[in-house]
Amino acid sequence: MTARVIDGKAFAANVRAQVAAHVARLKEEQGLTPGLAVVLVGEDPASQVYVRNKGTQTAEAGMASFEHKLPADTSEADLLALVARLNADPKVHGILVQLPLPAHLNSELIINTIDPAKDVDGFHISNVGLLGTGQKSMVPCTPLGCLMMLRDHHGKLAGLSAVVVGRSNIVGKPMAQLLLGDSCTVTIAHSRTRDLAEVCRRADILVAAVGRPEMITGDMVKPGATVIDVGINRIERDGKARLVGDVHYESAAAVAGAITPVPGGVGPMTIACLLANTLTACCRANGLPEPEGLTA
């Protein structure tokens, strides 16, 4: 068996195109422009690249982009004051504070100061609680992207057995909640799960989000299963730096029915879903119907 490759890059481009079409209609019919504010504190190289890509794709979708780049020694009081101003700004529908923050800043305090309705990362404790109880919320971007790809591949997910390997607040836990919401039978596993291979082999849907390079191998995959690899790990191999996922791609692809590659799988969906969340937040703020197919 050779797995179908789920092309996250192409899927993300389609999502961005849908978002752009909705934005154009909002402008024409309602005079509204969704706005995304991104706050970057310090000069972490990876964060700088990520923020730059967000700004570019926000503009390409026809949205307003507001970037706030602050020095690494910004005080907590100043950062909280900026968040408060963005909360009160009607032109800003989505707020994202880029993580990680410098060590002297309390990330949880900052995130939980964002207006939950503008929390397009879906990290605010109110959104976590709403998602966990099956209510309307802002959903974390990476799990939302995974869900979109799974729905596209399978159609309905009801009744499928899903295993999520990883229990982070950013991916593992919200991914499990989203799968439960689509009526999957869900197991959350992790690095300390006893007989992890046997647990994984029961999965029709296997989501790897554990942060360990190539931890999930082909002998841990049920024949025909759909494998979603959330991991992005930089390793040295044959004297060269390579990006690999949490799944050993070659061995898993020989067994699975479908698989996401790394790079080019889940990664591109994260920013696409950030744009989708900003659009959703704008529609909710103005009492308009939410865009179909772009929310959980």
Q: How far apart are CA 211 and CA 233, in angstroms?
A: 7
Q: Quick one: tokens of 99? A: 């993580």
Q: How far apart are CA 44 and CA 49, in angstroms?
A: 9
pLDDT of residue 49: 87
Residues in a beta bridge with 216: 247
Residues in a beta bridge with 65: 36
Q: How far apart are CA 210 and CA 218, in angstroms?
A: 16
- Under a CB-based contact definition with an 8 Å cutoff, are residues 119 and 81 in contact? no
* Predicted TM-score of the model (pTM): 0.95
Question: DSSP 3-state assignment of 276?
Answer: helix
Question: DSSP 3-state assignment of 156?
Answer: coil
| Residue type at position 164 | V
Residues in a beta bridge with 162: 186, 205
- Catalytic residue at 30? no
| Residue type at position 289 | P
- Catalytic residue at 195? no
Residue for token pair 């706030």:
68
Which of 121, 182, 229, 246 does the annotation list as catalytic? 121
Which of 54, 118, 173, 222 does the annotation list as catalytic? 54
- Report residues of the chain scoring pLDDT below 70: 1
Which of 57, 98, 118, 173 does the annotation list as catalytic? 98
Q: How far apart are CA 198 and CA 187, in angstroms?
A: 12
| Residue type at position 263 | P
pLDDT of residue 1: 63
- Under a CB-based contact definition with an 8 Å cutoff, are residues 221 and 215 in contact? no
- Catalytic residue at 121? yes
